[in-house]
Structure 1
């Protein structure tokens, strides 16, 4: 009989293999938005979004330690998680680009705290930046949802390294 270790065993795979295995899990695609003190909007594409709790209403997402926007999201009190609709692959790509003004040509309205809520999204969640947990090469953000809305429609998903409409279209 084998003894179960109290700690994690050394992985028997490399990061490429791990990434390929993770790609088999379909995830929704979001754009997380916030604002700098000088009024400049900041946004990024993230597929690491999940619910945590209904009471209190909590959600989570994660951001790489290498992301240039990490200090912005770590220090800001609020952000909006925009769940992209199937027709918004262009926004996922635009907010994933480096160096460009990611809000160029993007339609949005302002939340009650003055943060951009992207037009046409399937859902959005305005969150208080409740807690952050450094884990591995990412920081996990837990947001307490203060306001949300939804528009039932097919969502944009990421599966097998590709963006696609939910339902496989």
Structure 2
């Protein structure tokens, strides 16, 4: 099974995932500099209490901030925000916010126009290979109208309902 990593990568490329930008502030109470990174490993975990999970690279600056502050924001991107997804997928800390409209919501950086917003307190951090899974207790949630941005077969897209499911 020497080709297992490549086979695994191919299987995971075939799984459509939501695209989100996870954010945190370098200081507390909304003071400091904003940081963010694009993730496709984000999911709902629990309704009672409301919880989500996100997977963050073990070596990322954002993970260090999430550890330090115990908080993170989830900006669930919309179908018109693929440029934001690409910008936040690069290395670069706070420079990712250059030229990007953002605001503070519950002490965390929020990207206006994203169809989904969650402010979370870290419930726990779980090691998982080269990533760490952050389990977040949702303390605030908001939505705006818009189609989701998805990632499938290594390209961005969006969801379309099948006629039979309407």
Q: Mark yes or no: TM-score above 0.5.
A: yes
Unaligned runs of 5+ in 2: 162-166
CA offset at residue 86 of structure 1? 0.2
Alignment coverage as a number of residue pairs:
157
Unaligned runs of 5+ in 1: 1-10
SS of residue matched to 1:44: strand
Match of residue 21 from structure 1: 11
Match of residue 120 from structure 1: 113
Residue range with higher mean Cα deviation, 117-126 or 74-83: 74-83
Match of residue 104 from structure 2: 110
SS of residue matched to 1:152: coil
| Structure 1 residues 120 and 96: CA distance shift in structure 2, 3 A | same
Higher-Rg structure is 1
Of Structure 1 and Structure 2, which has the larger fraction of its residues in helix?
A: 2
CA offset at residue 12 of structure 1? 6.7
CA RMSD across the alignment: 1.7
TM-score by length of 1: 0.87
8 Å Cα contact 1:133-1:139 kept in structure 2: yes
Runs of 4+ in structure 1 displaced over 6 angstroms?
none
